[in-house]
């Protein structure tokens, strides 16, 4: 298992980690298979979405905030119930295909670590599955 460290700077943000993931794939010499990415935090997540236009990330964060507000009818006493819900909706795991040493993404796609209760120092676990 490989571990990636991610430092977030705001309470809610999406950090583009595509380059870091590709760098790891290249350094390890992984050619054909799949890479599982797993967020071991209950208030973080991983997703794939458009990386070409930063307004897409902004729209996702802003509208998740509207759908699941910071203050609401929550019983959890830590004050981060919204972050737990957002994490469950987005997902703590992701599988990406690696083809000929390249992370296989669509033209506009990128891999994002999603922070919903930051700023924090986070970890992302990755497991290689040879094809």
Q: What CATH number is given to the structural domain containing 36?
A: 2.60.120.460
What are the tens digits of pLDDT across the range 16-70? Answer: 999 999 999 999 999 999 999 999 999 999 999 999 999 999 999 999 999 999 9
What are the tens digits of pLDDT across the range 70-94? Answer: 998 999 989 999 999 999 999 999 9
Read off the tokens for 61. 């964060």
Q: Please report which confidence band the pLDDT of residue 131 belongs to, taking 50, 70 and 90 as the band edges.
A: confident
* Beta bridge mates, 24: none
The pLDDT of residue 77: 86
The residue range of the domain holding 63 is 2-130
> Mean of the pLDDT values across residues 84-106?
98
41: which residues sit within 8 A by CB, 6+ positions away? Answer: 87, 92, 120, 122, 123
Domain count of the fold of the chain: 1
Q: C-alpha angle with apex 54: 127 to 66, nearest 5 degrees?
A: 90
* Beta bridge mates, 121: 7
3-state secondary structure 32-92: CEEEEEECCCCCEEEEEEECCCHHHHHHHHHHHHHHCCCCCCCCCCCCCHHHHHHHHHHCC
């Amino acid at each position: 298992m490989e571990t990636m460290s991610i430092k977030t700077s705001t309470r809610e943000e999406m950090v583009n980690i595509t380059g870091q993931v590709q760098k790891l794939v290249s350094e390890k010499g992984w050619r054909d298979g799949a890479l599982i990415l797993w967020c071991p935090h209950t208030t973080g997540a991983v997703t794939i979405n458009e990386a070409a236009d930063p307004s897409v990330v902004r729209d996702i964060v802003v509208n998740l905030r509207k759908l699941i507000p910071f203050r609401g009818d929550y019983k959890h006493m830590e004050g981060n119930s919204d972050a737990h819900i957002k994490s469950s909706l987005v997902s703590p795991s992701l599988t990406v295909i690696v083809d000929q040493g390249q992370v296989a993404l669509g033209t506009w796609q990128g891999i994002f670590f999603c922070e919903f209760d930051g700023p924090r120092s986070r970890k992302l676990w990755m497991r290689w599955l040879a094809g």
